[in-house]
Amino acid sequence: MHPAHPQNSRNAVEQQFLKRIHILDHHLELVVGGQSGKGGIAYLLESAYGIVMPRRLQVEFSSVVKDHTDQQGCEVNANDIWNIFAATYLETATPVRYCEHHLFEHGKAQGIRLVIEQNGIRHELIGEGNGPIDAAVHALQGVGIRVQVRSYEERSIGASDEAGNAQACAFIELRSVNGSAEHYGVGIDGNIITASIKALVSGVNRNASAL
């Protein structure tokens, strides 16, 4: 079993990369808007936290940050951007919260026993597919969640010379089966499979119309 510790994953990233923020002093104040805003957001997340966002996620997240600044009527700094990113992608638990999973082989298929909470109700789901992500997508159909994976990327955000501190970051772009919504999910964990499943659940929560 792989129990979920989303806060631990976030804390590990914060502790490892917070020390880099001092080199960004001249970039901390960022007016979000237009192409420079998107580039600035991506630069800050990569430089301070090691998160290299796919291009379409940069566009999606820049809209999230812009909505935040429009509502708050203020500029944002590197810490603000990280907090918005974490709240939007890493800490989502509504309507679905990832609990744990267990992989198994079934003939030539990859199987998964996926435990989630949906609207506070715990479910143990079984799915099979051509890999862990495909199996998890099929498992989620057991509670009426039907999505298609449009794209998937993974990156390492840990320094290679710091043994045990490496973290995997997975990005999954999801589309609802009726095509009405399309969003990214992001997952961070020391295990790439767990990061990928967390990203899937994150995308489901972002793509709430798929439920």
All domains of the chain, ordered by start, with CATH? 6-90 (no CATH), 96-210 (3.30.160.270)
pLDDT computed for residue 13 by the predictor: 59
pLDDT computed for residue 5 by the predictor: 58
Cα–Cα distance measured from residue 72 to residue 151, given in angstroms and rounded to the nearest whole number? 32
**189: three-class secondary structure by DSSP:** strand
* ω into 3 cis (within 30 of 0): no
Residue type, 15: Q
Instruction: Read off the pLDDT of each residue in 8-19 and give the average, rounded to a whole number.
Output: 53
CA distances from 54 to 67, 154, 171, 172 (A): 20, 10, 8, 10
Instruction: Read off the pLDDT of each residue in 69-83 and give the average, rounded to a whole number.
Output: 85
Residue 70: CB partners within 8 Å, gap ≥ 6?
none
Q: Is the pLDDT of residue 42 over 50?
A: yes
**What is the residue whose two structure tokens read 């989630």?**
116
**Beta bridge partners of residue 174, listed in sequence order:** 149, 183
- Give me 2's structure tokens: 């792989």
Instruction: Read off the pLDDT of each residue in 11-37 and give the average, rounded to a whole number.
Output: 46
Q: Is the pLDDT of residue 22 over 70?
A: no
**72: three-class secondary structure by DSSP:** helix
Cα–Cα distance measured from residue 2 to residue 92, given in angstroms and rounded to the nearest whole number? 18
Q: Is the pLDDT of residue 55 over 80?
A: yes
